[in-house]
């Protein structure tokens, strides 16, 4: 990892003639924080939503995908955290960091860059594949959709959307992703209301008409269905206990 991060650091310097001085983690997962030790050891300020620091400070497990990571050494932990929003400036650019609550995790950061009109959205959007909903870190299908609603409201047709994985996208691509999530959620919610088990929900193939476009990534249609089912079942149990 360090050798690739070193290559990245050199490439940034070659392009900008400036060293990296600040680094934003969009969430805690290792593929988005794997450069923290390298940059943090060099004195770079690491910035993240406050839950990321807590998550990197202990061992974390992601249900359904077998991911375990942490804890990170002190030099890899965020040195500046925020709760809901933070504004940064870099030359003529303004960066607004925003957290909309539970989504991919409970520590996601969306970065709006102006006047460049770019939105960096992390793993709230993977293009074009089914996402991980990290239930162990407070992730939620309802929260994913809510966060995307907020991003759509803050962008326009010219905004470049930078996903956590995959090529740079348009706002229309993000809207299509949103609509897929809404339809899959509704189908699985209907299965839960009908008393179906998680295996029965998987067998009903609620994603089948989306699999050709979204089903070719790390998260299979079956695993995605289980994540959405489990997220919605948590909400149902919470409502029933009130």
Mean pLDDT per 10-residue interval, the chain, length 242 residues = 80 92 96 95 97 95 85 95 97 96 98 98 97 96 98 98 97 98 98 97 98 96 98 79 60
Beta bridge partners of 82: 49
Residue-level pLDDT at 69: 85
* CATH assignment of the domain containing 144: 3.60.15.10
Number of domains in the chain: 1
Q: Which domain holds residue 88?
A: 2-240
Residue-level pLDDT at 239: 65
Residue-level pLDDT at 1: 52
CA pair distance 106, 9, nearest whole angstrom: 28
């Amino acid at each position: 990892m360090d050798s690739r991060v070193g290559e990245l650091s050199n490439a940034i310097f070659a392009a900008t003639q400036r060293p990296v001085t600040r680094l934003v983690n969009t969430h805690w997962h290792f593929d988005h924080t794997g450069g923290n030790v390298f940059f943090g050891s060099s004195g770079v300020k690491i910035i993240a939503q406050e839950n990321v620091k807590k998550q990197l400070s202990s061992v974390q497990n992601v249900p359904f995908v077998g991911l375990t990571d942490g804890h990170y050494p002190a030099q890899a932990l965020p040195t500046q955290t925020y709760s809901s929003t933070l504004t940064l400036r870099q030359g003529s650019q303004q960066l607004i960091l925003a957290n909309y609550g539970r989504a991919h995790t409970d520590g996601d950061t969306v970065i709006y860059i102006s006047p460049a009109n770019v939105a960096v959205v992390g793993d709230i959007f993977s293009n074009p594949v089914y996402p991980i909903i990290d239930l162990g870190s407070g992730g939620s299908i309802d929260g994913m959709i809510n966060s995307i609603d907020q991003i759509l409201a803050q962008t326009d047709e010219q905004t470049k959307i930078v996903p956590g994985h995959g090529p740079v996208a348009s706002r229309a691509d993000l809207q299509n992703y949103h609509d897929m999530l809404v339809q899959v959620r509704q189908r699985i919610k209907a299965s839960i209301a009908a008393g179906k088990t998680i295996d029965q929900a998987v067998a009903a193939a609620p994603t089948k008409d989306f699999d050709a476009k979204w089903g070719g990534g790390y998260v299979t249609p079956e695993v995605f269905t289980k994540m959405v089912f489990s997220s919605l079942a948590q909400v149902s149990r919470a409502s029933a206990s009130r």
